[in-house]
A and B are shown apart, each in its own frame.
Chain A
Amino acid sequence: MNTRAMGNPDRASLGGEKVEVSILIPVGDFYDNLAETHASFRASCRSLGRSYEFIYVVRGDHPSLQKTLQLLEQEPEVRILQVPRTYNESFALNEGLRMARGQVVLTLPAYDTVVPEALADLVMALDDGTDCAVAVRAQRRDPLFNRIQAWVFHALVSRVAGRPLRDITNGAQAIRGEVARRLTLYGEQHRYVPILLLARGCSLKEVEVAQSPRERKLRMFGPRIYINRLLDLAAIFFLLRFTQRPLRFFGVFGAGFGVFGLAICAVVSYQKLFGGQSLADRPALLLGVLLIVLGLQTGSLGLLGELMVHLEAQRTEEPGATEEITPSPGAGTEPPPAGG
């Protein structure tokens, strides 16, 4: 593994014991005053009265951060992992999740989005057995443009997730440890963790928290970023619905293209053969032929997909899709049947 742990990634002081809360903070391209952020999160954490650890996953070299990091690693509860820049954010989050030992894993952004007090609310939201609690910034006061684009984005996100999600971009979410450690993220999936958890049947709730008063920056991006987000969502939509049955997707589109193309070609050929209309300047012919080709190719990609899925299914089981309800005396919610 090309990662490098600073400090003591497996601190003796924690003795490999379970801690109650793992706070996971990926540090990537954007970060605000890290020392200050850490101090306020730590204060909030202490007030919670649970054992905790901080995990910083630092992606890339940040000379300006070295001093802060050296200070942080003096603290016994802090573990720092450095990963090279060439790995993406999902990889960094993945590594962090593998390191986390807490019963609850709380991911927080390295920049200001929510107030530090939110931390306690999120952790406590899992006390009733919920698998995941996502922070929702209430009464946002950042620029209107930010809020409008967030609204549009989340309208799409809700469509893909199949239930309303109001704010998955603030980076603050608490996940039950065993659920979090089973996640495997790649690509841009770190942004869509709540959707992925919902797809696995995890229970999720949204917790309203105050927005950090320091989050005032206008977040306007280049067109590339917006296009990327749309493509991410399309990929996740596909994965959620067709991972086990690619031909349902490719087959329908392929058949549609193919039939349309055949119909065009049939009409054009009929007119040529029986109507004497020349084919020479009929762009419809070109369209028809290309549609047949497209349909054929789409359909056969679907077949290849089915083959791959089938081969993969013979080797693996989907983790955590079921649970056996183990015997426990008096577990029944109804009285035992009378006719015994």
Chain B
Amino acid sequence: MQDNPEKANSNSGESPWISVVIPFYNEEANVRPVIEEVMEVLTGMGRTFEILAVDDGSSDDTLSRLRSIKAAHREVRLLRMRRNSGQTAAMQAGFQACRGRVVISMDGDGQNDPIAIPLLIERLEAGHDLVCGWRHQRQDRLVTRKIPSWIANRLIGFLTGVPIHDNGCSLKAYDARLLRRLRLYSDQHRFIPALSSLAGARITEVKVPHRARMAGESKYGLSRTYKVLLDVITLVMLRSALNRPSRAFMIPGLLLGMAGLLAVLAGVVSSLQTGSSLVVLSGAGFLLLFAAGNFLTLGLLAELARNKAGSLARPGRRMA
């Protein structure tokens, strides 16, 4: 592979066509096979490329192995997070540093088969801004991985309006112009399709092969369930609040307020008719009215926050 860059990246001043971003966290056993496999596929495509390996503050031998690979291949660039910052931060760092017109992201654990990369790029060039991998015949545990993931994907698809089958697959292809408008933080790597859709992207998905882990340990567990739930709530809020902040909060506020008024009214009527106590219905009504007040004022505060942020580089579709 070493003697094969052709004209490829011999001129380091020129931007490569494809950038592949691969975060690694304690994957010493997978570093070399993963990168070499990717290089083989990309070399076969005959386009210029770069591979951005991001070491996410690994505590094992990952970094030094990446260094030696980098020393041997000039297509490989190496980023290091100063501390373990999580998959999203590592991916975002890679996205910000990459120079390609087409960007591929994938996992560093070897479960994504790079053989699918040409297919993803083909779909991208057919007029999409984001092509998501959909892990076919997923090789993971059923109860702790596949079932929760199925539920989560359905929920995310329903609530965010982007019905992608597999949000969790890291293997994706992006138009670089889309990435310039995405700033991922926290654990948003799970919600790239939804966030891209907010940024006006045309999204599609492609079935990709999936393999069992080559080596090393999985970094996931069920403990993230509540995090995903809260993140979904955030996304739903962002979806409406980024464009119309006050309305996003004030419409639910008004609905709650009306429900509250109705409840109080019903309480009064029923107590007049049957002489029953007012407390339960009117109490519920007061609660709803309080909630309404809360959301109405919150809407104004949201408007203020949005106003302070100025214009965001994300209205409509300005991809061309």
Across-interface contacts of A205 in B (CB, < 8 A): none
Contact across chains for A285 and B283 when beta carbons are under 8 A apart? yes
- Please tell me if A251 contacts chain B, counting CB pairs below 8 Å: yes
Contact across chains for B309 and A333 when beta carbons are under 8 A apart? no
Interface residues of B in 110-135 (CB under 8 A from A): none
Across-interface contacts of A308 in B (CB, < 8 A): 305
Stretch of B81-89, B158-166, B204-212, B263-271 contacting A (4+ beta carbons < 8 Å): B81-89
Across-interface contacts of A293 in B (CB, < 8 A): 287, 290-291
Contact across chains for A337 and B69 when beta carbons are under 8 A apart? yes
Contact across chains for B3 and A340 when beta carbons are under 8 A apart? yes
Given the known interface contacts A311-B312, A333-B68, A340-B2, the answer about A272 and B79 at a Cβ–Cβ threshold of 8 Å is no
Interchain CA distance A297-B295 in the complex, whole Å = 9
Closest to A280 in B: B279
Which of these, B1, B70, B82, B245, contacts A200 with CB under 8 Å?
B82
- Please tell me if B72 contacts chain A, counting CB pairs below 8 Å: yes
Contact across chains for A320 and B82 when beta carbons are under 8 A apart? yes
Interface residues of B in 277-308 (CB under 8 A from A): 277, 279-280, 283, 286-287, 290-291, 294-295, 298, 301-302, 305-306, 308
- Please tell me if A273 contacts chain B, counting CB pairs below 8 Å: yes
- Please tell me if A336 contacts chain B, counting CB pairs below 8 Å: yes
Across-interface contacts of A48 in B (CB, < 8 A): none
Interface residues of A in 203-249 (CB under 8 A from B): 244-245, 247-248
- Please tell me if A296 contacts chain B, counting CB pairs below 8 Å: yes
User: Smallest distance from the beta carbon of B103 to chain A beta carbons, Å?
Assistant: 17
Q: How many residues of B contact A (CB 8 A)?
A: 64
Interface residues of A in 305-340 (CB under 8 A from B): 306-315, 317, 320-325, 327, 330-337, 340
Interchain CA distance A308-B238 in the complex, whole Å = 10
- Please tell me if B242 contacts chain A, counting CB pairs below 8 Å: yes
Stretch of B143-151, B167-175, B227-235 contacting A (4+ beta carbons < 8 Å): B227-235
Q: How many residues of A contact B (CB 8 A)?
A: 51
Closest to A322 in B: B93
Interchain CA distance A292-B305 in the complex, whole Å = 26
Interface of B (DSSP majority class): helix
- Please tell me if B71 contacts chain A, counting CB pairs below 8 Å: yes
- Please tell me if B220 contacts chain A, counting CB pairs below 8 Å: no
Interchain CA distance A310-B195 in the complex, whole Å = 11
- Please tell me if A300 contacts chain B, counting CB pairs below 8 Å: yes
- Please tell me if A269 contacts chain B, counting CB pairs below 8 Å: yes
Interchain CA distance A87-B72 in the complex, whole Å = 54
Closest to B86 in A: A244
Across-interface contacts of B85 in A (CB, < 8 A): 201, 321
- Please tell me if B77 contacts chain A, counting CB pairs below 8 Å: yes
Across-interface contacts of A335 in B (CB, < 8 A): 68
- Please tell me if B183 contacts chain A, counting CB pairs below 8 Å: yes
- Please tell me if B32 contacts chain A, counting CB pairs below 8 Å: yes
Contact with A along B162-205 (1 / 0, CB 8 A): 00000000000000000000010111000000000000000000
Closest to B195 in A: A310
Contact across chains for A247 and B32 when beta carbons are under 8 A apart? no
Given the known interface contacts A321-B93, A330-B71, A337-B68, the answer about A307 and B306 at a Cβ–Cβ threshold of 8 Å is yes
Contact across chains for B280 and A323 when beta carbons are under 8 A apart? no
Contact across chains for A296 and B309 when beta carbons are under 8 A apart? no
User: Smallest distance from the beta carbon of A254 to chain B beta carbons, Å?
Assistant: 10
User: Smallest distance from the beta carbon of A215 to chain B beta carbons, Å?
Assistant: 34
Closest to A279 in B: B279
Across-interface contacts of B187 in A (CB, < 8 A): 245
Interchain CA distance A296-B294 in the complex, whole Å = 8
Closest to B84 in A: A201
Interchain CA distance A285-B82 in the complex, whole Å = 51
Which of these, B96, B242, B302, B314, contacts A317 with CB under 8 Å?
B96
Closest to A311 in B: B309
- Please tell me if B313 contacts chain A, counting CB pairs below 8 Å: yes
- Please tell me if A126 contacts chain B, counting CB pairs below 8 Å: no
Closest to A303 in B: B237
Which of these, A300, A311, A322, contacts B79 with CB under 8 Å?
A322
Contact across chains for A325 and B78 when beta carbons are under 8 A apart? yes
- Please tell me if A115 contacts chain B, counting CB pairs below 8 Å: no
Interchain CA distance A325-B80 in the complex, whole Å = 7
- Please tell me if A156 contacts chain B, counting CB pairs below 8 Å: no
Across-interface contacts of B233 in A (CB, < 8 A): 247, 251, 303
Which of these, B283, B298, B314, contacts A300 with CB under 8 Å?
B298
Contact across chains for B82 and A201 when beta carbons are under 8 A apart? yes
Given the known interface contacts A322-B82, A325-B79, the answer about A337 and B287 at a Cβ–Cβ threshold of 8 Å is no
Interchain CA distance A207-B287 in the complex, whole Å = 57
Across-interface contacts of B79 in A (CB, < 8 A): 322-325
User: Smallest distance from the beta carbon of B153 to chain A beta carbons, Å?
Assistant: 21
Interchain CA distance A269-B267 in the complex, whole Å = 14
Q: Can you list 5 A-B pairs, Cβ within 8 angstroms, ordered by A?
A: A201-B82, A252-B226, A306-B234, A315-B310, A334-B68
When A and B form their complex, which 5 residue pairs have the shortest distance between CB atoms, in order from nearest? Answer: A201-B83, A201-B82, A332-B71, A332-B68, A334-B68
| Extra inter-chain contacts (9) besides given A308-B305, A314-B183, A331-B71, CB under 8 Å | A247-B233, A252-B226, A304-B298, A314-B313, A315-B310, A323-B79, A323-B80, A324-B79, A340-B3
